[in-house]
Every structure is written in structure tokens, then in C-alpha cells.
Amino acid sequence: MKILIFGNPLIEKDSIPIKLIPLLKNKFPNIQFKEFETEEELKDEGKNLILMDSIQGIKKTMIIENMEQLDSNRIVSMHDFGVSHNLKLLKKIGYIESIKIIGVPQKISIENALKQVKEKIKSILV
């Protein structure tokens, strides 16, 4: 299994998923955690994707499986536009069959994020 990790280490509120990578590798050695920078290459990652990214406005880590939950109207940066727009487009044209996004709150401690993300990964593994 592979989980594609989005984030920006230079922006504190967007860096939590990146900071979790080494901690998650220790907890889940059989899962590949791949830092991902360009959403244009998502089509090359397979038909069933699992992503992790920070999400503005949520209080707890959540799993998004419904593409309509991706709010294209709340675009703050080109990254926000790119990921949601490209995922919807790739699904529509058949490059992606299913997607799970582990959404991490932007305002959360690393300790709480790790605990919540571990629970979400375990639920995906079941």
C-alpha cells in the first residue's frame, strides 16, 4: 500500500502531513509514504489512491471518499485549486476509480495528528 503525502514544509499550517512521514514509517513499515509535490502526476499512481493532506476548517482528522466533499469554491492557493480540480478530472476521465483522502486539520499538534492519522490508516487497512 502507498499513501501519497501532500503538504508544504515551509508553511506551518500545511506542514503537518510532511512532518508525520518519519513517525508513520516507524508505525507502518509495510506502507510506502511518498511525499508528493505535483498533482499532475497523480494519474501515474494507480487507479485507487490514498492521499494525506492538511485541510482548513476541520477539527479532527477525517477520511474523504466522496469527491463532491472536495470544496472547489474555497480556493486559497493554486495548490488548493490543483488538487481538488485534478482529482475530480482524473476520476471523470477514468484514470482514478477510487480515492481516499486522509484530511489532517491545519491547527493540530503533531502528537494528536499522529494518533488520529494512525486510527484512520488502521480503519483503511481493515
pLDDT per residue of the chain (126 residues) written in tens, 0 to 9: 999 998 888 888 889 999 999 999 999 999 999 998 666 677 778 889 899 999 888 999 999 887 666 654 444 443 444 567 777 778 888 888 888 999 999 999 999 999 999 999 999 998
d(CA 111, CA 90): 34
Query: In Å, how far are 18, 72, 73, 93 from 3, measured between CA atoms?
Result: 12, 22, 26, 22
d(CA 17, CA 36): 11
48-55 and 2-5 as β-strands: parallel, antiparallel, unpaired?
A: parallel
Query: In Å, how far are 34, 36, 56 from 45, measured between CA atoms?
Result: 11, 11, 25
Domain 2-125, architecture per CATH: 3-Layer(aba) Sandwich (3.40)
- Show me where the domains of the chain are located: 2-125
pTM for this structure? 0.84
Query: What pLDDT shows up at residue 126?
Result: 87
Cell, residue 19: 512532518
